[in-house]
Structure 1
């Protein structure tokens, strides 16, 4: 009888472990399916970058088109270095991303620390919600908010300028202000997300460390400097490495929708992603656009590996792998 009871308990524990494993797998499954369908399967299309891609009318399937298109080697990559837009595209993509990575860290950490100092939970949650909400808005929606202010005929800012006898700025033709407008728009949309991540890290800090610092006579600023910020170091480095891995990526919606695809603004809004899209629309050459996208991701890979290697040599615990 005792043996049967022990056997039943072992089976029950075994089923409990299997049930827990199945539950965890069910949580992972949607993300894994998304990763396979939208990230791994499309990698087959990389070979288009090395082919003169043609559509064959007899059997116009993707596989048939790719298989029968001629190999052209690196020919599709050459156009990126021959056009006058190449330097503008690279300068804007790198310049904006470097600025926003550094500015994003400073602003997000500052906001997270300030939110942590708010003792009223309702007020703190309200601020978090308001800051996080723009992250879920489409750039198409945001572009019309911007247009409401900058419209050359009925915009709120233009109306203010006219009513006060000021010179009216044609915002969608003047490149002077758009680096600032794009920076503000980027911060408005994404800073809330980063702030929540840093705030989560701050809430995980042992409160006894603050109590000990307070007993030793440390001011609030000293507690932030010597307790909070050192604990955020790992999170800052990890997010920095991840962002470096996207340094040649640009937010297509921001650079295309918010400036309303205005031609005069191309010198400050032309980035890798908009360049790839416009190349495809203008030339209908899938090989060239695929080559540009492949080059973009290859450079991102080099950047993230380099950044992670440097971090691992300085502080191994803060590296990604």
Structure 2
């Protein structure tokens, strides 16, 4: 009866959250039975329950491939760089926004920083092409203006990790800063008033009050993002890099590799096996990192 009373009392709130609940249920929980495909030679005609069981054969497809080590290391490297630089940039933006006193300027600055998050990676890829293309790219035009030779950026694999990290920070740091800014706004203002009485500078208030009090939020968000450390940003990588094989040594990640394999071989079982591997490793990373955080910094642990 208590559950029904709760639903009745807050019915409009539950209706508001219903689309999100349905989305999570359909695309997360309802897909669990299909993990069995990872251990089958899936046949569309026979279906999920009647396809041939082949054990760990699909996992060997990935681990025995020549590119398994390369794409795994690329995935970890890029995601670690994304995590570190986005977290650092988002916290720095939140601290700067918190110090701004001009309300008009802070609204303008926040809108400017958040706007890239609403752009599709397809649009961003065209923007980047206009910047990095050899003949008419903005960057090469600047290089020519200073007497240098144009660079064929789309054949320089070593440059693209830096470019991808820069674009990821530009696109996502503004939105991520909102969470940290919300955490800052929840800090008791009497702490800052006491610091003012003691003669603390703005830098000291930032380093002695703000940063320590938002540290648990930073730790928790970092732990949650560790679960996706084995998932490359497929939308970003594929939109920007596409099928440019010259850049694969530094930009090819597990997701794009599996997508190409699925496209060429047409076997969903291989893709499901790699997806299960990514999820399992992500789960272990979250549990391991949370255990370590609980021992070293209890306030920042998830549980």
**TM-score, normalization by structure 1:** 0.89
Alpha-carbon contact 1:143-1:260 (below 8 Å) kept: no
* Alignment equivalent of 1:198, drawn from 164, 172, 180: 180
Q: What is the aligned partner in structure 2 of residue 180 from structure 1?
A: 162
Q: What is the aligned partner in structure 2 of residue 42 from structure 1?
A: 31
Are residues 1:171 and 2:153 paired? yes
Alpha-carbon contact 2:180-2:217 (below 8 Å) kept: yes
Q: What is the aligned partner in structure 1 of residue 22 from structure 2?
A: 33
Unaligned runs of 5+ in 2: none
> Is the partner of 1:261 in helix, strand or coil?
coil
Matches within 5 A, 1:60-139: 64-139=46-121
Cα deviation digits, residues 32-52 of structure 1 (max 9, x gap)? 111111111122211111111
Task: Name the count of aligned residue pairs.
Answer: 300
* Pair member with larger Rg: 1
> Is the partner of 2:130 in helix, strand or coil?
helix
Alpha-carbon contact 2:227-2:285 (below 8 Å) kept: yes
Q: What is the aligned partner in structure 1 of residue 43 from structure 2?
A: 54
Instruction: Quote how far apart the aligned CAs of 1:122 are.
Output: 1.1
Cα deviation digits, residues 247-280 of structure 1 (max 9, x gap)? 1011112111112431100011111111110110
CA distance in 1, matches of 2:228, 2:201: 38
RMSD: 1.7
* Alignment equivalent of 1:245, drawn from 208, 213, 227: 227
Instruction: Quote how far apart the aligned CAs of 1:23 are.
Output: 2.8
**More displaced stretch, 34-43 vs 21-30:** 21-30
CA distance in 2, matches of 1:49, 1:302: 19
In the superposition, relative to structure 1, how do residues 216 and 271 fare at CA in structure 2: closer, same or farther (>3 Å)? same
Unaligned runs of 5+ in 1: 1-14, 57-63
Are residues 1:259 and 2:248 paired? no
Q: What is the aligned partner in structure 2 of residue 281 from structure 1?
A: 263
CA distance in 1, matches of 2:128, 2:150: 16
> Is the partner of 2:134 in helix, strand or coil?
coil
Instruction: Quote how far apart the aligned CAs of 1:242 are.
Output: 0.6
CA distance in 1, matches of 2:7, 2:41: 51
> Is the partner of 1:67 in helix, strand or coil?
coil
Instruction: Quote how far apart the aligned CAs of 1:303 are.
Output: 0.6
Q: What is the aligned partner in structure 2 of residue 271 from structure 1?
A: 253
**More displaced stretch, 81-90 vs 295-304:** 81-90
**More displaced stretch, 21-30 vs 284-293:** 21-30
CA distance in 2, matches of 1:86, 1:152: 31
Q: What is the aligned partner in structure 1 of residue 9 from structure 2?
A: 20
**TM-score, normalization by structure 2:** 0.94
Instruction: Quote how far apart the aligned CAs of 1:161 are.
Output: 3.1
In the superposition, relative to structure 1, how do residues 77 and 154 fare at CA in structure 2: closer, same or farther (>3 Å)? same
Instruction: Quote how far apart the aligned CAs of 1:317 are.
Output: 3.6
Instruction: Quote how far apart the aligned CAs of 1:160 are.
Output: 3.1
Are residues 1:296 and 2:285 paired? no
CA distance in 1, matches of 2:295, 2:145: 60
Instruction: Quote how far apart the aligned CAs of 1:289 are.
Output: 1.1
Alpha-carbon contact 2:135-2:150 (below 8 Å) kept: no
